[in-house]
Structure formats: structure tokens, C-alpha cells
């Protein structure tokens, strides 16, 4: 397989991942994947049309969605009227993703605690019945939270 074929296959796989991970429509997810893997200094609107083979209106709609969600940004080059699209905040992409995961786990831990307290007070047999499962799950959430915080701190130190 050629480099281009491998890249196209990876764009497709990454696109499917972005669809589910970020709730993106297929075309927007593929454009975002193309931006992640491009070796160029940004992609133009025309580049996106040529690479995705979609209509101008579909590409425009997808790029606008990615801009609104702050997944991408654009810049211009002196003497060139075209806009060049690139991933927004390339340097903190992983930090943002990890922080979203951390917030999700923290919410999970809080709601788990509230359910446990409710069951302890109003459904003691259910509380007792689920003790082992709850403790294992709570420990997992706690461990994952600790790992995420440690990783975020390490990445933040690299940013400085």
C-alpha cells in the first residue's frame, strides 16, 4: 500500500472515531481527520473539496460547524486571499480532551455517591447488595481520575 492509501484509510478510521467521540457529522469528521494528518500548513477550502469530493455547500457547512465548535481555526497568508484551515489550539488538543474526560469522571463519581447515599438511607438492602460492585467501580473511577490529573499536570508543565 502506498503512503497516500494508508493515509486515506487512517483518515477514514479517524473520521469514524471523531463522529462518535465528538458527535460530528461524517463529512465534518473526515475534514477534521484530514487536518489532523495533513503535512501542509493548513488546508484551503478548495483543498477540502478536492480531498473529500463533496459539494461546496457541504464543505462550507462542515467547516462552519468545525469553526463554531472551535475544532478548527483559519489564518490567511500575506498576498493570498484564501483562508487556510488548521486544528485550533494544536498545542493543547490533548489537554482539552483529557480535561473533558476528567470532568465526566468527576460527575460520574458525584452521582455515584448520591445514589449510594440514597440507597443507604431509603433502600438499605439494595445498598448492602451492591456494596462490592460499587466499591470496585468507585475505586476504578477514583484511580482513573488520579491518572488523568497526573497526566494533565505533566502536559501542562510541558506547555510552559
Q: Tens digits of per-residue pLDDT, 60-102?
A: 999 999 999 989 999 999 999 999 999 987 777 788 889 999 9
pTM for this model (two decimals): 0.75
Task: Give the chain as a DSSP string.
Answer: --HHHHHHHHHHHHHHHHHHHHT--HHHHHHHHHHHH--SS-EEHHHHHHHH---HHHHHHHHHHHHHTTSEEEEEETTEEEEEEEETTGGGHHHHHHHHHHHHHHHHHHHHHHHHHHHHHH-HHHHHHTHHHHHHHHHHHHHHHHHHHHHHHHHHHHH-
pLDDT at 127: 93
**What percent of the chain has pLDDT above 70?**
99
CATH architecture for the domain at 3-88: Orthogonal Bundle (1.10)
Classify residue 34 by burial, with Cβ atoms within 10 Å: 0-12, 13-18, 19+: buried
Amino acid at each position: 500500500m502506498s503512503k497516500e492509501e494508508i493515509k486515506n484509510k487512517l483518515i477514514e478510521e479517524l473520521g469514524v472515531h471523531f463522529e462518535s467521540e465528538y458527535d460530528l457529522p461524517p463529512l465534518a469528521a473526515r475534514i477534521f481527520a484530514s487536518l489532523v494528518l495533513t503535512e501542509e500548513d493548513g488546508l484551503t477550502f478548495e483543498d477540502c473539496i478536492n480531498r473529500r469530493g463533496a459539494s461546496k455547500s457541504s464543505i462550507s457547512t462542515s467547516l462552519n460547524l468545525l469553526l463554531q465548535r472551535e475544532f478548527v481555526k483559519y489564518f490567511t497568508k500575506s498576498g493570498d486571499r484564501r483562508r487556510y484551515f488548521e486544528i485550533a489550539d494544536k498545542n493543547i488538543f490533548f489537554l482539552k480532551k483529557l480535561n473533558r474526560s476528567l470532568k465526566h469522571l468527576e460527575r460520574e463519581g458525584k452521582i455515584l455517591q448520591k445514589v449510594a447515599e440514597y440507597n443507604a438511607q431509603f433502600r438499605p438492602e439494595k445498598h448492602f447488595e451492591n456494596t462490592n460492585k460499587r466499591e470496585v467501580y468507585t475505586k476504578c473511577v477514583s484511580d482513573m481520575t488520579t491518572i488523568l490529573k497526573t497526566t494533565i499536570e505533566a502536559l501542562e508543565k510541558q506547555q510552559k
